[in-house]
Structure 1
Amino acid sequence: MRKFALSLCASPQDAEDAAQEALIILYRKIGTLRATGALASWMFRIVRNECLRQVRLLVSRSDEATAEPGASAEPSAEEAVLHRLEVERIAAAVSALPRDQRQVLIMRDVQGLPGRTVAHALGLSTAAMKSRLHRARAALRDALETTGRTSEAA
């Protein structure tokens, strides 16, 4: 589970948190599992959901930090639903990125860490980190444009 979480989460700390939270959820809900053969897939699904939840939390914290002063405190129900759907679409696109790109993107753009810090944490040169970040942003932009066109056509 930890290795799987490492492939999805932005940092090793986030992966540890996700794996630990998944074990807690598993412990609490193991009695609801009906088919013993489904245990592994259920565990992986819990880890995946925890990693996505962490990304959503980071995105929502980022949104709160950039909110305009004087803006209405409560969005309409329609705006809230649209925002949640957009956050889920972004989180899914981020989680679909290759691990190396996802890590750089989340550390730099979501967590707001300086480029040198990200490069050092991942054992990369600054140039290599910038290259990965560029590829990650381009892949994310393409994925979001593709899913945006798909949802508009529906």
Structure 2
Amino acid sequence: MQVPDRTPQGGPHGALPTAGVAHPAPSVSPAALDEATLVARAQDGDVHAFEELARRHQNALYRVAVRVLGQRADAEDALQEALLDAWRKIGTFRGDAAFSTWMYRIVTHRCTALMRRNRPTVPLPDEDALATDRGSPARAAEVDAELAALSRALRELPHEQRTCWVLRELEGLGYADISEITGVGETAVRGRIHRARAALAERMRAWR
């Protein structure tokens, strides 16, 4: 899926660039730089470096937002706000965890805030499942019904469980990374994922 280009244009301390002020082009293309160098340059106020970081990570961040929120429009809003937050707070990144983990934490916090403000949403089924060969009309109807059941089951999970489950089962992140992203201990993360798995297994029992 093509993610809309919503790269922020603000400054590392929250200030937006002044209209009409040109940023000099970097002598070396940001695309040729490693992530640590890009982060260091972004922390020095290099907009081009941050744009490259956003370009590298926005697809994964958008995918998480869609799976947690269930609505593409909401996911786009959450991603936009998360990228703006990251640009404003880039100076606080200390490298204690991977930059991607730091970005996941920001986008999941934005998703949580959005879910608390808005009405409950229906998570989208996994796109890989949607791409499955459905075969006969009868099989297609069965797949549609199963995906609808999964969407309902995901919708009924508390958002803390859903977020941990998405990061673990759909994004393949480790418990330590999820703990860093969500700000709760690994034991709590494991507990949330265990409860989410049990709830989904119970609700999907008829489809086994």
TM-score class, shorter-chain normalisation, is 0.5 to 0.7
TM-fit CA distance, 1:94: 0.9
TM-fit CA distance, 1:76: 1.8
**Normalising by structure 2, what TM-score?**
0.41
Question: Out of 74, 96, 100, which is 1:19 matched to?
Answer: 74
TM-fit CA distance, 1:113: 2.0
Return structure 1 stretches of 4+ with deviation > 3 angstroms.
13-18
Larger of the two Rg values belongs to structure: 2
1:107-132 CA deviation, whole Å, 9 max, x = no partner? 11122222222221111211211111
TM-fit CA distance, 1:19: 2.2
Aligned alpha-carbon RMSD (Å)? 3.2
**Normalising by structure 1, what TM-score?**
0.53
Secondary structure of the structure 1 residue equivalent to 2:172: coil
Higher relative contact order structure (alpha carbons within 8 Å, sequence separation ≥ 6): 1
TM-fit CA distance, 1:62: 5.7
Unmatched segments (≥5 aa) in structure 2: 1-62, 78-117
The percentage of counterpart residues that share the same residue type is 24
Q: Is residue 79 from structure 1 mapped to residue 134 from structure 2 by the alignment?
A: no
Contact 1:101 1:136 survives alignment (8 Å): yes
Question: Out of 76, 90, 99, which is 2:150 matched to?
Answer: 90
The within-5 A match list for 1:2-151 is 13-14=65-66, 15=69, 17-19=72-74, 48=121, 51-52=122-123, 55-56=124-125, 59-61=126-128, 75-145=135-205, 148=206
> In structure 1, what is the Cα distance between the partners aligned to 2:130 and 2:175?
21
Contact 1:62 1:110 survives alignment (8 Å): no
> In structure 2, what is the Cα distance between the partners aligned to 1:135 and 1:20?
25
